[in-house]
Amino acid sequence: MPLYTTEAIVLRTYKLGEADRIVVFLTRDRGKRRGVAKGSRRPRSRFGGALEPLSRVEVTYFERERRELVSLSDAELLASPLWRGRDEALCHAGYFAELLDECAPEGDADERLYRLGSSAIDALGAGVAVEPLARYFEYWLLRLQGVYPARLACAACGAALGGGSGPAAALLPGERAYCCGACAAAAGSRAFVLSGEAVGFLRASAAVGPERLGQFPVSARALRELEAAHRALIAVHLEKDVRSARVLREIRGPS
């Protein structure tokens, strides 16, 4: 019965019986795992507050052969996006964690995906503005999933996005890649349109870490353009809507 101790990000938990939880967590070296944290719902549990979504922890667990669920024996809290007490960070922590859960393969390590989640935790804890961080997180998640190419170019004609007059980029319904404004107009279909400012934010996101997003001011309008396009891309990629995204929209209300 091997014993493992590793750094991990808590993605979600489920109630089990009267006092236990099933915990889904993403490890740096062994991918996504699921385990039982016995007694974690008791008031004086040894796990304390270490099992909140998007917490970074040092977790110790046992793995039994031919058992899908591991057994968690300890989880030491290393970092939490909730330490600064920001309500918007609490709401987005669940959103980031759900996206990681949907995209992380079971038991298959993905160092880049783990680093993305860990950087989001640090950025939330450092007070980085939540909306730009969310668009940054979505961009990199989609890029790591192969949806966003490294070069922002029109999928139809190959031209770099952001040049010329009119819309800088457009996402046609049901598609996985942007096209330039001219190609979108030629297609004659309703599209999610990005301004030059929105495309500029994507280019900045490709070049810097999330802690430096404050160096690239972006308007609420450009962030809404990116949000609409990213949600459409995520829905096509996952073949479903993300529950926590609907919750965020309901909390925020009409734009």
Residue 255 predicted with pLDDT over 60: no
Residue range 129-146: mean pLDDT, rounded: 95
Question: Which tokens belong to 136?
Answer: 């940054």
Q: Helices (H), strands (E): how many in the chain?
A: 7, 7
For 17-50, the pLDDT digits (tens) are 999 999 999 999 999 999 999 999 998 898 988 9
| Cα→Cα distances 80→22, 39, 124, 198, Å | 20, 21, 8, 29
Residue with the larger pLDDT of the pair 84 and 127: 127
For 155-193, the pLDDT digits (tens) are 899 999 986 667 899 998 888 889 988 888 887 667 899
Question: Which tokens belong to 229?
Answer: 């396009």
Q: Going by DSSP bridges, is the β-strand pair 56-62/31-37 parallel, antiparallel, or unpaired?
A: unpaired
Q: Smallest Cα–Cα separation from 223: which of 98, 95, 136?
A: 136
What three-state secondary structure class fits 116? Answer: helix
Q: So what's the pLDDT on residue 121?
A: 95
| Cα→Cα distances 43→18, 48, 60, 78, 199, Å | 12, 8, 21, 21, 48
Domains, the chain, in order of start with CATH, read 1-127 (2.40.50.140), 141-241 (no CATH)
| Cα→Cα distances 86→68, 129, 228, Å | 36, 10, 24
Cβ–Cβ < 8 Å for 36, 22: yes
Q: So what's the pLDDT on residue 53?
A: 92
- Give the separation between CA 212 and CA 177, rounded to whole angstroms: 26
- Would you give the distance in Å from CA 245 to the centre of its chain? 11
Q: So what's the pLDDT on residue 189?
A: 66
- Give the separation between CA 183 and CA 162, rounded to whole angstroms: 13
For 60-71, the pLDDT digits (tens) are 999 887 788 999
**Is pTM, for the whole model, over 0.85?**
yes
